[in-house]
C-alpha cells in the first residue's frame, strides 16, 4: 500500500493511543512523532503544526494540558531524553565532538539547531507570515551584535545567533516571494544539502568523493541526452553559478580555436570578438573581461570589425528580464558556416527542456557546442546548482589541466577519468550534484515537467488577468515566452496625464515606491527595473512551486492597494 507521505509516521500503531482518531490526522501523527523522534523534536513539530489545538486550549473553560515540569525536555512523557541534562550557557564549541565524551552534547546541540530550522521551514510556507521582516542596514547593525570577538561565544549565544539570522532572513520559500529567478525550497533538496554538508568533501578526485563523482557523471550524461546529443556523449561540470558556466564556455571556445593561448597568452592570438544578443546576461561581458578579451570585444549589434576574429557566439535561451529565446536554429546555421563556437546560455530557460509542452522554444540547442543550464532556477534545486554541458569530450581537460601531481597521480589503482578536478578552474569544488540527483530521484523527470508547466501556467494566468485590466500596461506586446511578465502599474493619479514626459517621469517612481512598501509591510516581493528607454517596470518571474493562482490574485490586489495613492 502506498505511503500516506508526511502523515504516515503514525499509521502503524497510532490507533492504540489516539482513540477514534484517524492515523492520518495531524494530531495522531504528532502523538506518534513524540514517541518515535528523540530529543523532543516530535512534540515541537506538534506545537508548530497543531496551532488550532493550541488556540482551542487557550479558550476560557477549556481543559488545559499539564505544565511541563521545569528542567525536563518538553516531551510531556517519560523518556530518556538528554536535553534536560544539557545546558548551553556554559558550553562552548570545544565541548562538542571531537571532544572526549562530546557525543551527547553534540547530539543535543544539533537537535536544538534542527528545531530552529524546522520552525523556520514551517513558518516560511505560512501565508500569514511575512516574507521579510525589513530593517534598514544601520538598524539591523544596531539591533544585534554581529562583530567578531577574540573570545569564544557560548553555545547558547550561538543558538541565539542562529535564531536572529533566520528572523531577519528573506523567506525565499514563501509562496508570495517572486523577487528573483531562484525561489522556493524543496524538502528533498534541503535534505540533500544537509547530507552534502555532513559529508564535507571535495569534488576533485574519485578517491575523496566516490559517490558524488559518479552521480555527477550520471546526471551530466542524462542532461546531455535531454539536450539531444547522441547517447549523451560529451563533457560537463557543475560550477558556482551561470556566470562561471558561461565563462567556461568562452574559455573553451578560445582554446578550441587557438590552443596556443593556454601557454602563450593573449599576445599570441589576433584580436578576438564575441557576439551575443542585446538582452543577454551581463556575465558574457564579465567573462570577456576576466579572460583578457575585453568588454569592448563583446558585440551586441551587427558591426563590421575589420581585422577582428569572431570566435564565440552566445545565444540566450530565456533572457533575464524579458524571458525571450533567441532563434537557435538560425544562429547555429551562421556558426556552422563560419566555424564559430555556439554557446547557449540556458541558465534561466534551459529547464524548459524538461517539458514536452515547452521544449520547442529551445529547438536547435542540440547543435550548440556548449550549454549553460541552472537547475537552481526553474527546477528549484537549492542554491547553488549550475551545469555547463559541452559537446566535445576531452576538451575541458585539455584546456584546463595542469597535472598537479599531489592530486592527480597517474598510477592510481582506478580509472583516472573519474578524477574530474583537473578539468575545472577551481581546485576546491563544492558538491552541488547531490541536491539535483536526489530531487530527480524523488520527482522523476515527469515531476520536474509538471512543476515547470505549472509555473508557466501561472505566468500565463497573470498575463491574461492584467493585459486588459485598468491601470496596467504591458512592457512588450504578446504573450511572454517564459514566466517573465513585465508590466507597468499606473496609479489613478497618473492614468490620464496628457503630458507624456510628465507622465513618464511620474511612472518611473511608481514601482520603486510600491516595492519599498511591499518590503516594509512584508507581504510580498517582486522585482522592478528600467530597460533601455523604458522607465521602471515590474518584472514578475514565477519559479516557486508553492505559488498558486490565489497568490497571483493577491499580488495584483497588493500592488493596487500599495500604489493607489501615488
Q: What is the pLDDT of residues 426-438, one digit of tens each?
A: 899 999 999 999 9
Residue range 229-244: average pLDDT?
Answer: 95
Residue range 235-240: average pLDDT?
Answer: 96
pTM score of the predicted model = 0.84
Other Cβ atoms within 10 Å of 306 Cβ, number: 4
End-to-end CA separation in angstroms for the chain = 58
Q: How confident is the model at residue 421 (pLDDT cuts 50, 70, 90)?
A: confident
Strand order in the sheet with 235-239: 235-239, 386-390, 370-373, 341-346, 309-316, 272-276, 298-299
Percent of the chain's residues with pLDDT above 90: 75
pLDDT of residue 84: 52
Residues pairing with 487 in the sheet: 474, 538
The yes-or-no verdict on residue 559 having pLDDT over 90 is yes
Task: Looking at mean pLDDT, say which of 15-24, 141-150, 152-161, 277-286 comes out highest.
Answer: 152-161
pLDDT of residue 42: 53
485 φ, ψ (degrees, to nearest 5): -120, 110
Q: How confident is the model at residue 68 (pLDDT cuts 50, 70, 90)?
A: very low
C-alpha cell at 74: 518538553
DSSP state string for 71-117: TS-S-SS----SGGG--STT--GGGSTTSTT-HHHHHHHHHHHHHHH
The yes-or-no verdict on residue 486 having pLDDT over 50 is yes
CA atoms of 254 and 304, how far apart (whole Å)? 20
C-alpha cell at 382: 537549492
| CA 106 to chain CA mean position, Å | 30
Tell me the C-alpha to C-alpha distance, in Å, between residue 161 and each of 38, 87, 145.
24, 16, 9
Residue range 170-186: average pLDDT?
Answer: 97
Residue range 227-244: average pLDDT?
Answer: 95
Which domains, from first to last, does the chain contain?
6-161 (no CATH), 202-431 (3.40.640.10), 443-563 (3.90.1150.170)
Per the prediction, the chain carries an average pLDDT of: 87
C-alpha cell at 196: 552534502
Tell me the C-alpha to C-alpha distance, in Å, between residue 60 and each of 51, 64, 463.
17, 10, 49
Percent of the chain's residues with pLDDT above 70: 84
The yes-or-no verdict on residue 43 having pLDDT over 50 is yes
CA atoms of 29 and 22, how far apart (whole Å)? 9
Of the listed ranges 84-93, 346-355, 362-371, 494-503, the least confidently predicted one is: 84-93
Amino acid at each position: 500500500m502506498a505511503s500516506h507521505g508526511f502523515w504516515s509516521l503514525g499509521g502503524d500503531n497510532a490507533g492504540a493511543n489516539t482513540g477514534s482518531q484517524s492515523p492520518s490526522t495531524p494530531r495522531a501523527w504528532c502523538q506518534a512523532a513524540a514517541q518515535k523522534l528523540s530529543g523532543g523534536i516530535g512534540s515541537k513539530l506538534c506545537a508548530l503544526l497543531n496551532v488550532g489545538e493550541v488556540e482551542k486550549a487557550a479558550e476560557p473553560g477549556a481543559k488545559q494540558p499539564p505544565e511541563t515540569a521545569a528542567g525536563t525536555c518538553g516531551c510531556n512523557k517519560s523518556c530518556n531524553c538528554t536535553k534536560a541534562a544539557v545546558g548551553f550557557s556554559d558550553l562552548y564549541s570545544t565541548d562538542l565532538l571531537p571532544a572526549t565524551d562530546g557525543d551527547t552534547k553534540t547530539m543535543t546541540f544539533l537537535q536544538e539547531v534542527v528545531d530552529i530550522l524546522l520552525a523556520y521551514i514551517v513558518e516560511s510556507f505560512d501565508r500569514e507570515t511575512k516574507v521579510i521582516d525589513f530593517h534598514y542596514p544601520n538598524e539591523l547593525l544596531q539591533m544585534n551584535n554581529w562583530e567578531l570577538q577574540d573570545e569564544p561565544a557560548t553555545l547558547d549565544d550561538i543558538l541565539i545567533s542562529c535564531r536572529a539570522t533566520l528572523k531577519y532572513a528573506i523567506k525565499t520559500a514563501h509562496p508570495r516571494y517572486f523577487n528573483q529567478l531562484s525561489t522556493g525550497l524543496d524538502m528533498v533538496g534541503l535534505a540533500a544539502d544537509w547530507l552534502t554538508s555532513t559529508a564535507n568533501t571535495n569534488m576533485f578526485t574519485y578517491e575523496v568523493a566516490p559517490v558524488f563523482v559518479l552521480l555527477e557523471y550520471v546526471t551530466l550524461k542524462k542532461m546531455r541526452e535531454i539536450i539531444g546529443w547522441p547517447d549523451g556523449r560529451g563533457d560537463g561540470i557543475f560550477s558556482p553559478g551561470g556566470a562561471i558556466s558561461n565563462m567556461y564556455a568562452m574559455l573553451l571556445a578560445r582554446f578550441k580555436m587557438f590552443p596556443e593561448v593556454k601557454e602563450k597568452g593573449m599576445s599570441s592570438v589576433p584580436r578576438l570578438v564575441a557576439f551575443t544578443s542585446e538582452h543577454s546576461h551581463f556575465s558574457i561581458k564579465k567573462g570577456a573581461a576576466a579572460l583578457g578579451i575585453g568588454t569592448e570585444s563583446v558585440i551586441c549589434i551587427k558591426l563590421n570589425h575589420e581585422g577582428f576574429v569572431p570566435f564565440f557566439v552566445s545565444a540566450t535561451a530565456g533572457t533575464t528580464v524579458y524571458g525571450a529565446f533567441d532563434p537557435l536554429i538560425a544562429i547555429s546555421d551562421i556558426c556552422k558556416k563560419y566555424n564559430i563556437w555556439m554557446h547557449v546560455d540556458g541558465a534561466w530557460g534551459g529547464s524548459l527542456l524538461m517539458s514536452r509542452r515547452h521544449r520547442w522554444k529551445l529547438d536547435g540547442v542540440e547543435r550548440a557546442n556548449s550549454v549553460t543550464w541552472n537547475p537552481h532556477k526553474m527546477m528549484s534545486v537549492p542554491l547553488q546548482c549550475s551545469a555547463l554541458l559541452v559537446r566535445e569530450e576531452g576538451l575541458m581537460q585539455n584546456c584546463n589541466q595542469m597535472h598537479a601531481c599531489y592530486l592527480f597521480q597517474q598510477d592510481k589503482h582506478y580509472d583516472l577519468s573519474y578524477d574530474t578536478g583537473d578539468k575545472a578552474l577551481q581546485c576546491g569544488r563544492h558538491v552541488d550534484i547531490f541536491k539535483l540527483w536526489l530531487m530527480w530521484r524523488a520527482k522523476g523527470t515527469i515531476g520536474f515537467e509538471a512543476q515547470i508547466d505549472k509555473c508557466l501556467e501561472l505566468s500565463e494566468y497573470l498575463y491574461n488577468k492584467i493585459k486588459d485590466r485598468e491601470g496596467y500596461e504591458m512592457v512588450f506586446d504578446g504573450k511572454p515566452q517564459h514566466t517573465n511578465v513585465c508590466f507597468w502599474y499606473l496609479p489613478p493619479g497618473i492614468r490620464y496625464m496628457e503630458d507624456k514626459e510628465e507622465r513618464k517621469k511620474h511612472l518611473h517612481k511608481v514601482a520603486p515606491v510600491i516595492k519599498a512598501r511591499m518590503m516594509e509591510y512584508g507581504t510580498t516581493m517582486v522585482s522592478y527595473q528600467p530597460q533601455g528607454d523604458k522607465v521602471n517596470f515590474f518584472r514578475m518571474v514565477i519559479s516557486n512551486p508553492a505559488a498558486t493562482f490565489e497568490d497571483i490574485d493577491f499580488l495584483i490586489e497588493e500592488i493596487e492597494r500599495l500604489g493607489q495613492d501615488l
